[in-house]
Amino acid sequence: MTLVLALLPLLTFAPDNTGAPLRQPQLAMDGLTAVVTYGAGNDVFAAVSNDGGQSFGKRVLVGNAGVISLGRHRGPRVAIGGGAIVVAAIAGEKGKGQDGELYTWRSTDLGKTWSGPKRVSDVPGAAREGLHALAAGPKGVFFATWLDLRAKGTRLMAAISRDAGATWSPNFPVYESADGHICECCHPSVAIAPDGALHVMFRNWLGGSRDMWVATSRDNGKSFSAKKMGEGTWVLNACPMDGGGLAVKGNGELVTSWRREQKIFWTDGPAFQAPDWNGKDSALALDANGKPVIAWTEGMRLMIYDGDVRELTPHGGFVALAASRGGVLAAWESGTGITLQRLR
């Protein structure tokens, strides 16, 4: 199936003849190269643009590793760096939280062919919650992190690749809560700074509060320090199943977006932003000028902030964003398909 480009820069993928709905799109951009990935049934697909998202080539089957985790921010992730595109997903023989390993696939020909799957999580069933994040950084570094259940309680574990996803390190811890667990159903986010610092945002569960924290390593993952984002707290005896967005500016400062109760908040460096935005499921990217673009779900609508707040679409969910000097792209679930929009 090819992707048809209309006069307006709005693209839609529809299910193929299997009828499996397309779910949980994710985006990555590097210059004029853009990649969208998503799950359909137990398959992972990707399509590549070479013109900053103005058009995309035919979707390609990335791979299948069993029963894939999909829904509520589960699903494949994608990153570009070091001459490679890497897609990650969690899958198991049984799936549905009974088992699950983190796998990666790799392409060095702009998504035409894929090798893998390569298993990244090194304890059977440890990644069965199905929630993970993936990012690329300088010098061919890729970093993957996930909610890990290899021991009692939920913690953050990670692995790093220094050869553009060809091989991965043994797993190592990012954060373990003093209360014995982090929030068990909220996806993490990850970003790598220009200087190589590793940043992981996650929802903690500490003293009854489920706030967003960022763990940072400046020694290649040997140690991490963590701090809470924003002001105030969210005391909650339940899991909101909602993570957030994370990006790093050229000067190393972090920008984050996330939900507390039924509101969207964000931080820009040391500044805490508390606009009156109702919503959930936020995503974030930085444009070529380092300005934040934030999208979120409000009821049935998708909203976007890029200096002003406006409606992106009246019907959609689970929006993803990516940006580079090539532009800014959004992708979201629309019925049983996936819609992509070039924002600028």
Is pLDDT of 1 > 90?
Answer: no
**pLDDT tens-digit profile of 94-115?**
998 999 999 999 999 999 999 9
Share of the chain above pLDDT 90, in %: 95
pLDDT tens per residue, range 37-50: 999 999 999 999 99
For residue 17, the model assigns a pLDDT of 86
CA–CA distances in Å: residue 307 to residues 181, 203, 266, 272: 37, 27, 13, 16
Name the band, by pLDDT with cuts 50, 70 and 90, for residue 187.
Answer: very high
pLDDT for the residue 328: 96
Largest CA distance in the chain: 54
- Average pLDDT of 305-323? 96
**What integer is the mean pLDDT of 216-232?**
97
- When pLDDT is averaged across residues 244-258 and rounded to a whole number, the result is 97
> What is the pLDDT, as a whole number, of residue 9?
54
* Predicted pLDDT of residue 67: 97
Distance of CA 25 to the CA centre of its chain: 9
* Token duo for residue 225: 């320090």
Over residues 260-287, the mean pLDDT reads: 97
Residue for token digits 């500016």?
249
Per-residue pLDDT at 10: 80
CB contact at 8 A, 190 and 135: yes
Q: What domains are defined for the chain?
A: 23-279 (2.120.10.10)
Distance, in Å, from the CA atom of 127 to the CA atom of 118, rounded to the nearest integer, reads 14
Separation CA 296–CA 196 (nearest Å):
29
How far are the Cα atoms of 113, 178, 203, 215 from residue 255, in angstroms, in the given order? 34, 26, 16, 14
What would the pLDDT profile of 131-176 be if each residue is shown by its tens digit?
999 999 999 999 999 999 999 999 999 999 999 999 999 999 999 9
pLDDT over 90 (residue 344) = no
Dihedral in degrees, nearest 10, Cα atoms 211, 159, 164, 166: -150
Average pLDDT value over all residues in the chain? 95
What is the distance between the alpha carbons of residues 121 and 72, in angstroms, rounded to a whole number? 21
**pLDDT tens string 18-32:** 899 999 999 999 999
Using CA atoms, how far apart are residues 209 and 6, in angstroms rounded to an integer? 47
88 CB burial (10 A radius; 0-12, 13-18, 19+): buried
Retrieve residue 57's tokens.
Answer: 């080539």
What integer is the mean pLDDT of 236-261? 96
Give the model confidence (pLDDT) of 65-85 as tens digits: 999 999 999 999 999 999 999
Q: Are strands 172-175 and 189-192 parallel, antiparallel or unpaired?
A: unpaired
Residues in the chain: 344
